[in-house]
Every structure is written in C-alpha cells, then in structure tokens.
C-alpha cells in the first residue's frame, strides 16, 4: 500500500549512450522489447538533469496532473509523451494519479547534435519515478540494488534509455553468450569489458543540426515487413559475439571493424526499408572517408559510428588524443574545429542523484 509524503522532490542526472551493436526493430505486439540484442557505451558529458516535484492534488480533471518545463519553458510535445507514459504506468503506480506533478528538466547538450536525448531523458524520468515509489513505501532507494527495475521502466518509455542506467558498457537483449542478458532490461558486463570501455573517447562531429525527416520510432516501425529484417537480427547476434570476444581480448582492430559495420548496416536498413529514406548527408560520407583514409595512412585506431542521423561519432582510445585533434585540424574542413561543431565525450559511470532542490528555471 502506498503512503507518500504529502509533498516532495527527487532529482537525477542520467547520461545518454551510444550504441555499438544497434537496436533497430522491435518484437511485434510487445512493449518495447528488442528484436535483437544491443550493446552501448554509456557517455559522461552528455546528460539530462531532471527534478520531479509532487504535492497533493486539489482537483481531478485529468487522470494525471502534470506540468513540464524544459530548460525553463513549457514543452508541450514532451509533456504529452510523459503524460501518455504515466497513464500506462498508472495501474502499477497508482500514486501518480493522487498528486500534482511538476517536472523540470535540462540537457547538457543541444538538440539534433547526434546524441540520443530520449535515452538520457527517459532514463532520468524512470529514476525519479522509481525513487518516488520507494519513498511512498517508506523505503530507501539504491540504484545498485534496483537497477533492473529502473532499466525496465526506462525501456518502456524509450528502448535505448534502459542502457543509460548501466555504467560504462551496457548490454540489452537476450543472447546465448551472456546468460544474464534480458530483453526486459540492460545489464552491466564484467570488469574486463568495463576496463576496455573506459579507455575510449567519443568525439561527436556535428554534420547537420536539422531535425530528422524520419523519427527513430518511425524507423523501428518500418522494420516490420522489412525484406532484410530476419537476416539483420541474425547478423546483430553474430556481431555481438565477435564484439564481446574482441573486447575481452583487447582486440581494437576487430572491435572497430564491427562497430563501423553496425553503423553502416543501420543506415542501409533505412535505405532499403519498405518506405526507403536516407538520413545521411554528403558531408557524413566525406567525414567517414576522411576517418578511414587517416586511419589507413597513419595507422591509428580511430573509428566511426552513427546514430539514426547524419552526425558522426569518432571513437578512439584516450592515449591518441593529440593525434585525433591533429586529424580534426588538418584533415577536415576548418569549421569542425569550432566548439559549436563538435562535442567531446568519454565513457562514464552512469546516473547519480541530484540535490533535492528543484530549480526555478
């Protein structure tokens, strides 16, 4: 039985993540369950801060009373998405209908910058909701103990969000090589894999800031009836086996080869879907060619991956930082050296709580 304090606030910072083995396609008639397993690096500098404040309701015009402010301003589209999600949660979290809820949230990164904002935002929301639930039970909340529950809630809000709950490197989706892996939540991998992940940096080169013509949700839907869907899901499982072995062995070359193949496969699936579309830009191809040429001529371990958009994630071990900036300065157009055209990130340690003082803006 729930007995929430009459008012309160919880706050969490949760990072985004970059998938190396791509999640693209859902199990039909299931709530956000993946058609294939995925693996991601958890980022550090790209994150969402979120505070959730509740107080007793004075009227009951709607099942959920919700106000939402993004970076100080009402955000109607985001509010509707959160409202609909809370409605789905209402049977298992009935306290959501008993209180007026105000959410204030902000990102450390700009929109359309090649970073999955839904992953950081929805994982932050899941953390706030689950901590609130534990407070209503008069219990303390420990993310280390309850990460599976939080990851499950985050997955139901946005599939990739479930991976942001896990530090360093996260695996989501059942796979025969990892007994603990689940379609319902992401799991951390053993220390060997975390040690491999922690050496990597992610320099996001912003090719185009324009909104995408096709959303990720629409892209997932187009995998239903896709002529290559079955083959893709088999490929992803094989790629994951190879990638896990490469990480365990410290085989950077095989790791990079699989990561790049996954990125290009993702966009190939878009281009040959039942309704074909393309999110790559000519400049995306130029950057990819420059990375591959520089790697070949300089023998440097630098690789690319892509989200569902045109911007390029340049992955490299931290020990090669100086050489990478030489590449940016000399092998790419000069505007990529401007801070507005890149975001420098690294593998991070996952979410952490914020001071329970909700900001005014």
pLDDT, tens digit (0-9, with 9 covering 90-100), for 230-248: 999 999 999 999 999 999 9
1 pLDDT higher than 90: no
d(CA 121, CA 105): 8
The pLDDT > 70 percentage for the chain reads: 98
Three-state DSSP at 236 gives helix
Distance (Å, rounded) from C-alpha 117 to C-alpha 123? 10
The region, left, alpha or beta by phi > 0 then psi within -120 to 50, assigned to residue 19 is beta
pLDDT computed for residue 113 by the predictor: 59
**What angle separates helix 76-89 from helix 143-157, to the nearest 10 degrees?**
110
What gap in Å lies between CA 126 and CA 154, rounded to an integer? Answer: 5
C-alpha distances in angstroms, 68 versus 13, 49, 52, 102, 175? 17, 13, 9, 6, 38
In angstroms, the CA 322 to CA 154 distance is 37
208 vs 216: CA distance, rounded Å: 17
Please, what's the b/e burial string for 56-90 (b: 16 or more CB within 10 A of its CB; e: otherwise)?
eeeeeeeebbbebbbeeeebeebbebbbebbeebe
Q: For residue 5, what pLDDT is reported?
A: 85
**Which one, of 43, 46, 168, lies nearest residue 117 by Cα?**
46
| Average predicted confidence (pLDDT) for the chain | 94
Cβ 232 vs Cβ 269: under 8 Å: yes
pLDDT at position 110:
74
Residue 322: partners with Cβ closer than 8 Å, 6 or more residues away: none
pLDDT bracket for residue 111 (50, 70, 90): low
256: buried, middle or exposed (CB in 10 Å: 19+, 13-18, 0-12)?
buried
Among residues 197, 243, 237, 316, the alpha carbon closest in space to that of 23 is found at: 237
Find out whether 200 and 193 touch, Cβ atoms under 8 Å. no
Walk me through the domains of the chain, giving residue ranges and CATH numbers. 1-361 (3.30.230.10)
**pLDDT recorded at residue 156:** 96
State yes or no: pLDDT of 112 exceeds 60.
Answer: no
Q: Quick check: 17 and 40 in contact, CB under 8 A?
A: yes
Confidence of residue 27 (pLDDT cuts 50, 70, 90): very high
CA pair distance 81, 84, nearest whole angstrom? 5
- Residue range 259-309, pLDDT digits in tens: 999 999 999 999 999 999 999 999 999 999 999 999 999 999 999 999 999
Q: Which residues lie across from 99 on neighbouring strands?
A: 56
Read off the pLDDT of residues 157-198 as tens digits, 9 standing for 90 and up. Answer: 999 999 999 999 999 999 999 999 999 999 999 999 999 999
Q: What is the pTM of this model?
A: 0.95
> Which stretches within the chain are classed as H helix?
76-89, 117-136, 143-157, 191-198, 216-221, 229-249, 252-271, 282-298, 321-331
How far CA 361 is from CA of 37, 68, 107, 108, 275, in Å, comes to: 38, 11, 13, 14, 41
329-341 pLDDT tens trace: 999 998 888 888 8
In this predicted structure, the answer to whether residue 26 has a pLDDT above a threshold of 70 is yes
Cβ neighbours of residue 67 closer than 8 Å, sequence gap 6 or more = 74, 79, 100, 101, 102, 103
Closest CA to 111 of 343, 350, 346: 343
Position 337 scores a pLDDT of 82
| β partners of residue 67 | 102
Q: How far is 25 from 35, CA to CA, in rounded Å?
A: 5
CA 158/CA 121 separation, integer angstroms: 9
What pLDDT shows up at residue 213?
A: 80
């Amino acid at each position: 039985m729930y007995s929430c304090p009459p008012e309160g606030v919880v706050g969490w910072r949760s990072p985004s993540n970059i998938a190396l083995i791509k999640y693209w396609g859902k199990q039909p008639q299931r709530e956000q369950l993946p058609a294939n397993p995925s693996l991601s690096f958890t980022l550090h500098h790209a994150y969402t801060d979120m505070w959730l404040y509740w107080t007793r309701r004075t009227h009951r015009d709607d099942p959920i009373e919700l106000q939402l402010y993004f970076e100080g301003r009402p955000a109607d589209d985001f509010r509707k998405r959160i409202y609909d999600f809370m409605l789905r949660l209402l049977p298992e979290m009935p306290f959501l209908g008993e209180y007026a809820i105000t959410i204030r949230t902000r990102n450390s990164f700009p929109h359309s910058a090649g970073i999955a904002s839904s992953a950081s935002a929805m994982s932050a929301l899941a953390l706030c909701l689950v901590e609130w639930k534990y407070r209503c039970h008069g219990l303390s909340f420990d993310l280390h103990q309850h990460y599976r529950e939080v990851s499950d809630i985050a997955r139901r809000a946005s599939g990739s969000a479930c991976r942001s709950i896990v530090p360093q490197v996260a695996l989501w989706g059942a796979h025969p090589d990892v007994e603990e892996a689940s379609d319902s939540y992401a799991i951390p991998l053993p220390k060997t894999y975390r040690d491999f992940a922690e050496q990597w940096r992610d320099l996001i080169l912003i090719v185009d800031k324009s909104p995408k013509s096709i959303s990720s949700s629409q892209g997932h839907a187009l995998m239903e009836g896709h002529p290559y869907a079955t083959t893709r899901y088999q490929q992803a499982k094989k790629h994951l086996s190879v990638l896990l072995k490469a990480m365990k062995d410290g085989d950077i070359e095989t790791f990079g080869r699989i990561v790049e193949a996954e990125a290009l496969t993702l966009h190939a699936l878009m281009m040959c879907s039942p309704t074909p579309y393309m999110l790559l830009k000519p400049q995306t191809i130029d950057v990819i060619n420059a990375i591959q040429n520089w790697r070949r001529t300089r023998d440097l371990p630098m690789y690319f991956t892509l989200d569902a958009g045109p911007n390029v994630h340049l992955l490299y071990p931290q020990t090669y930082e100086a050489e990478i900036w030489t590449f940016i300065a000399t092998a790419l157009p000069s505007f990529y050296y401007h801070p507005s055209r890149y975001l420098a990130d690294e593998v991070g340690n996952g979410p952490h709580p914020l001071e329970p003082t909700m900001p005014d803006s």
